[in-house]
Amino acid sequence: MKSLGLVAPTSMNHLHKVTITLRSGEFISTDSTLLVEAPTATDAADYGCYYLSRDPANLEWDSNEVLDLNGEVALSGNATLLPIEDHEVMIKHFTVCSINYGELHQSNNYLESIDNTQYAHAIYSLLDSKYEGVELQMILSLKDEIINAFEVGLSVFSAVDLIAKSLQLSVRHSLANELVAA
């Protein structure tokens, strides 16, 4: 059984400056910069490449770069976490795109190219957006269910639904115990 190496992002509110390098033949450009809100720099760089691509549904992903337009253009991203004290000014004066795991995960072979930590971050982020106030310990207690879900080939979204159902049952069970105790 392979381990997911689960580490929960502290918040979805990590703001990254993402510089995208475009390469086409001998032409190389690093002029494209955008701000991406994502839990990790890796996710921010990936979403930056997705966001700036011309044909996002057909991107070819690998660990080093993303091929766009049938391999004519190669994109790679480098993300830098911005200090929290800069967030307010950056958000006020620049466009910020927030990572959309649904879009990213449907981009051709993206899910085949990422590691298990990125899967885990996607799950935590999706759960956090659906179930505000869910305690991290509760999510971590479902680690075995997450691992089993991936081993049977469930998608990230199916795993989130499975976990969400478990969380709802846990919350209902806790509330029932509190009512009985009162």
Q: What is the chain's Cα-based Rg?
A: 19
Answer whether residue 4 is part of any domain: no
In whole angstroms, what is the distance from residue 124 CA to residue 39 CA?
10
Answer whether residue 1 is part of any domain: no
- Contact (CB, 8 A) for 61 and 107: yes
Q: What is the pLDDT along the chain (182 residues), one digit of tens a residue?
A: 222 333 333 444 589 999 999 999 888 888 889 999 887 888 899 999 999 999 998 999 987 899 999 999 999 999 999 998 888 888 888 889 988 877 887 788 887 777 666 666 666 665 555 555 555 556 556 666 665 665 566 666 666 666 666 666 555 555 556 666 66
In whole angstroms, what is the distance from residue 26 CA to residue 29 CA?
10
Answer whether residue 79 is part of any domain: yes
| Locus of tokens 């490449």 | 49
Nearest to 110 by CA among 145, 155, 166, 159: 155
Q: How many domains does the chain have?
A: 1
Could you tell me the residue range of the domain that residue 154 belongs to? 15-173
Nearest to 165 by CA among 145, 181, 180: 145
Answer whether residue 40 is part of any domain: yes
